[in-house]
A and B are shown apart, each in its own frame.
Chain A
Amino acid sequence: MSTAEHDIQPRTVSLADDPGLPERLRRAWETAPGLVGWISSVDHKSIGRRYIVTAFAFLLLGGLEALIIRLQLAHADQHFVTPEQYDQLFSMHGITMIFLYALPVLSGFSNFLFPLVLGARDMAFPRLNAFSYWVYLASGLFMYASFLAGAAPDDGWFNYAPNALRPYSPGPNMDFYALGMIFLGVSTTVGAANFVVTVLRMRAPGMTFARMPILVWGTFSASAGILLAVPAVSLAFFLLWLDRSFGTHFFSGTEGGQPLLWQHLFWIFAHPWVYIIVLPAMGLVSDALPILCRRPIVGYGLVAGATVATMMIGFGVWAHHMFATGLPAIASAYFSAASFIIAVPSAVATFAWIATIWSGRPRINTAFLYFVGFIVMFVIGGVSGVVTAAAPADLQLTDTYFVVAHVHYVLIGINLFGVLGGLYFWFPKMTGRLLGERLGHWNFWITFVGFNAAFMPMHLTGLMGMPRRVYTYPADPGLDLVNLISTLGSDLLGVGILLLVVNVWLSLKKPKTAPDNPWDAPTLEWAVASPPPPYNFAVIPTVASRHPLWEAHMSNRSGVSVLDRGFALDDGKEALATTVLEARPDLVLKMPNDSPWPFLLTLVMSVFFTALLVQAWWVGAVSVAGLLVCTLVWLWPQRRLAQTAEPPHV
C-alpha cells in the first residue's frame, strides 16, 4: 500500500497544547441526531451495542422457546404442545441460540472493543460494519417471520436431509431456514473480514501481535475460521434450496442423492462454528479475569497460541458428529483421536486461568464470579466432550440427553457465562454506568444454580438412554425425576436471566457516573472516557507494552507507551493504518461518513430473499437490479475519501 513513504507527515500534537482538538474531532465523528442519523451511523460503538442488545433479545426468545420445551418434558406423556409445535420450538431454539445469539453477541463485544483496545478510531470498514449488523437483524427477523407464517423450521438446527427435503417437509419451513442462513452468512462473512483487516491494519503504532489483548486473538482466530467455514454451509443451504425448489438431487436418499454429503458440508462448518462462538468469549475472560486478579495473565503466549491452535484443530474434528453413520473404521479412528487432541489447547487455557487466580489477588465481584463459574463449567463441558470423543462410547451416547448436557455446558458455560461476566466488566465502558453489584450477586448465583440444576441431571437422563429431540417419553420413575429437576432448574435459570434484565434496566435509569477506569485495568479502552467519545482517541496512542496503563507498576519495564501525544489526524474523519507485522505508521485513512446505504442495501436484500422464499422470480430479478444500484451508490468513489487520488502517506 505504501509506495512513497513520508511524503506527508501528519501533525503530531500533545493534548495539552491543543485544547480545541477534542471538540473538532467530535464535530467530525459525531452521528447526526434523528432517525436518519440513527440508521446511518457507522460508529463501531453504536453498532457494537446494537449487536449486543439484539443478540440478547434473541437470547430471551430462544430462552422462552426452551422454557416451553422444558414444560412439555416436565412429565411423561404430556400434550402441552403438539409434536409439530415441539419440533418447531426445538429447531428455532437451536437456530436462535447458535446463530442469532451466540456469535452476534460476541461480534457486539468485539465491535465495541476492537478499535478501543487496538487504539484505533474505528473498524477498518465502518460502512461494512453497519451493513453486517443490519443484515444480521434482517436475516434474524426473516427466520422469525416463519412463526408468523405458522411454518417455523422443524428439522433441527442440524437440518439433516432427506427429512429437510420437499417430500418430507412440504411447507416453507425449511426454505425460511435455508434462505435465512444464506442471508445471515453475508453478515457473518463481511463482519469477519472486517475484524481480520482491522487486526492486521488498524492497531496503534507499536502494538505488535505479542501486545494484543487475548480477546483480539480470540476474535481474530474465530474470524479467520468464519471465512473458511461459512462458505461450506452457505453452499450446503443453497444446494438444499435447489433440491427443494427445483427438484435437484444433491441430498435426496432413495433417488440417487447423497444424504451424508449434507452432514459433511454441515459439520465441516458447524464444528468449527462451535469454536468460533467460544474462542472470543474465552478471550474476554482471558483479558478481564487477570485484571480482577490484579496481575497480567500467566502464560500469555501459551493462551494466545492455544487460541489459534484450537481454531486450526477445530477444522479437523467434524466427523465426530457422524460416528454412527457408517464411516470407515480408519476415519472414525482419526476423528476420534483428533477429538481427544483438541482438548489439549483447552487444557492450556484452563490451567492459565487457574494459575492467574493462584498468583493474583482476586477482587470478588459479579464479573469475577461469572468468570469462576465459566472455568468450572468449561471444565465440565470439556470432559464430557472427551467422553463423547471416544467413538465407541459415543455410539451409545450420541443423540441422547448426555450430548444435550454437554453442548449446553459448552455453549452456556463458555459463551453465556463469559459474556455475562464480560457484560458486568465492560458495561461501564459501554454505557457510562456500573451494573448493581448486590443484584449482580443474586443474578449470578440464581443463574449458576439454575443452570446446573437444569443441565447436570441431563447427563443422567442421557445415561438412562433418553434420546434427544423427542416430544415426549414413556412414564418411568427415574426419567420423570431427572426431567422434572431439569425443568425446575431451567425455570430458575430463566429467573436469573430476568434479574440481569432488571439490573441493566435499573442501571440505565441512573446518571452516567462510571469512572473511566473502574477496575484499574491496563488496556487502552480504559484510557478513554466511559462511554468513549465518538472519535475514541483524541491523539493516536503509541503502545510500548502489553499493559499500557500498568507500566508505572511494571518491574520489568519494556518501554513507555505514549497516550497524550501523537498524531492528531483531524482533517475531517481520519484514522491511521499501520504495517501488518510491526505496527509502524503507514497510511492516513480517510474514513467514510455515516451512510444510509448499508441499511437501504439490506432492505433490498430482504426483498430479494423474500422473493426467493415465495418464488416470485420477477420480484427477485428486480431486487437484484436494486442491489446493484445500492452497491454502486455506496461504493461510488469520493474525493473526500481520497478514492479519486493517491492517499497521503505517513
Chain B
Amino acid sequence: MSPLDLLHPAGPQAQQIAPLLWGLIWLSVVVVLVIIIVVGLALIVRTRRQEDIAQVTTEESRRGIWSIYAATGASTVILAILIGWTLTTMAGIATPPRPAAFTIDVTGLQWWWRFTYEPQDGAPGFSTANELHIPVGVPVRFRITAGDVIHSFWVPAIGGKTDAIPGQVNEAWLEADKPGIYQGACSEYCGQEHSEMALFVVAEPQADFDAWRAHQAMAAAPAADPTGQALFIQSCGRCHTVRGTAAMGTRGPDLTHLMSRTTIAAGRLTNSRGNLAGWIANPDAIKPGAKMPAVPLSGPQLQSVLDYLSTLS
C-alpha cells in the first residue's frame, strides 16, 4: 500500500481518529446502499403500474409525508450521535496521553522542511531537513510555522494535519507506538513543487534516538581536504550551514550531517553521490522551480565538493 495510507495508524493520535473515520465511512456505505435499494425498489414497484400512466395522481401522500418525518428524525438522531462522537474524539486528541518530552520546531519552506531541536542537557540545539527522529512511545510537541507561503505538516500514520502558516505558530503533538520510518507530505498547495515536499519521521528506541540526537548536535568533524571545504564555503556557504565552518547560510538546509539523511531534495532523490552531483549541477531539471540555483562548478570542482560532502556523516 501507499506509504501515506490511512489504514495503518501507528500512534495514539491516529489510532483515536481511525475508528471515527472508518465508522463514518462504513456508515456512509450503508446509507448509500439503503438509498439505492429504496430508490431501486420504488422504480421496480412503481413502473409495474403503468396502465394508468396518463392519469395524474393528486391525492396528498400522507404516508409519504410521514416517512419524510420519520427518516429525517432518524437521520437527525444519527447525526446528533455522530456530533457527540466527533467532539469526544476532538477532546481526546487535543492533548497527548502523557506530557510531551520535548519540542521540535517545524518550518515549512518552498519546497522542504526545516526541523529544529532545542538545546538539551547541555548539548546545543541543531536543525536538520526533511527527516526528523523521535523516540518510540514518547509524545513530542511540535511548533509549526512557515517561512514563505502556507504549507501543511502531515504524517498520516501517526496523526492529522497541522497547517504551517507564516507569521503564526500552530502547535501539535505526535507519538509513534512502534519503530519505523513514517512518511509524511506537505498537504497544502504551496506552489510548483508542492508534490515534491515529502518528510520522514524516524521513530526509534530511546537509546538510538539519544545517540542520534547527540551526534546531530555536534559540529562537523574537521575536513581532511581543505580544498573541497573551501570551495563549498565559497559556493554554497551563503545558503547552507555546516556547523564548525564558515558556511553559515540559513536559506537552505543545514548540511552538517547531510550523510545521515536517506534522501535529498525533500524526498525527491535518494541520497547518493550521483544524485547529489545531479542536484548541485542543475536543481531545476530535477525539481522545476526549485529555489536552489545551479552552482557553476567545473567537473573537478564538483567532484571536490562531493568529496567534502561525503565526509559530513
Interface residues of A (CB under 8 A from B): 82-84, 87, 155-156, 160, 162-163, 167-168, 252-260, 293-296, 298-299, 302, 324-326, 329, 332-333, 336-337, 340-341, 343-344, 347-348, 350-352, 354-364, 372, 375-376, 379-380, 383-384, 386-387, 389-400, 463-474, 476, 478-479, 520, 522, 550, 553-556
Contacts and interface: CB of A to CB of B under 8 A. Distances in A.
Closest 4 A/B residue pairs (Cβ): A395-B160, A465-B4, A253-B166, A470-B195
B207 interface: no
B175 interface: no
Q: Which of B152, B171, B195 has the most chain A CB within a 10 Å cutoff? A: B195
A73 B162 CA distance: 26
B189 A348 contact: no
Interface residues of B, number: 92
A390 B86 contact: yes
Contacts of A375: 35, 39
Contacts of A324: 152, 160-163, 188
Contacts of B57: 294-295, 359-361
B191 interface: yes
Contact of B90 (A160, A329, A380): A329
A336 B163 contact: no
Contacts of B76: 344, 347
Contacts of B42: 354, 357-358, 362
Contact of B160 (A340, A386, A396, A522): A396
A392 B162 contact: no
Given A163-B150, A390-B20, A395-B161, 13 more contacts: A83-B193, A162-B148, A254-B147, A324-B152, A332-B90, A356-B64, A358-B45, A358-B64, A359-B64, A384-B28, A392-B21, A396-B14, A465-B5
Interface string B136-172: 0000000000111110101010011111011110110
A344 B79 contact: yes
Given A386-B82, A392-B160, A465-B4, A343 B147 contact: no
Contact of B6 (A254, A362, A463, A472): A463
13 contacts: A83-B195, A162-B149, A295-B57, A325-B165, A344-B75, A362-B47, A379-B32, A387-B24, A392-B16, A392-B93, A399-B189, A522-B56, A553-B58
Interface in B31-63: 31-32, 35-36, 38-39, 42-43, 45-47, 49-50, 52-61, 63
B134 to A, nearest CB: 19
Given A258-B167, A325-B165, A375-B39, A390 B189 contact: no
Contact of B28 (A383, A463, A522): A383
B83 interface: yes
B67 A390 contact: no
Given A360-B57, A467-B186, A396 B2 contact: no
B275 interface: no
Nearest to B184: A465
Contacts of B233: none
B195 A467 contact: yes
Point out which of A255, A325, A351, A376 has the most chain B C-beta atoms below 10 A from its C-beta. Answer: A351
Contact of B161 (A332, A399, A469): A399
A529 B74 CA distance: 45
Contact of A361 (B3, B49, B64): B49
Contacts of A260: 165, 168
Contact of B79 (A257, A325, A341, A553): A341
Nearest to A346: B75
Contacts, number: 298
B25 A298 contact: no
Interface centre among A256, A324, A354 (most CB of B within 10 A): A324
A524 to B, nearest CB: 17
A163 B149 contact: yes
A386 B150 CA distance: 26
Contact of B149 (A253, A384, A393, A474): A253
Contact of B61 (A83, A359, A474): A359
Contact of A160 (B6, B63, B79, B188): B188
A560 to B, nearest CB: 15
Contacts of A257: 167
Contacts of B16: 392
A298 B162 contact: no
A556 B58 contact: yes
Contacts of B162: 324, 326, 395
A396 B148 contact: no
A354 B188 contact: no
B224 interface: no
B17 interface: yes
B94 interface: yes
B195 to A, nearest CB: 3
B185 A397 contact: no
A264 B74 CA distance: 33
Nearest to B189: A469
A328 to B, nearest CB: 11
B278 interface: no
Interface string B61-98: 10111011001100110011011011101100110000
Contacts of A393: 17, 20-21, 24, 86
Contacts of A348: 68, 72
Given A347-B71, A550-B56, A463 B39 contact: no
A258 B9 CA distance: 34
A168 to B, nearest CB: 6
A295 B56 contact: yes
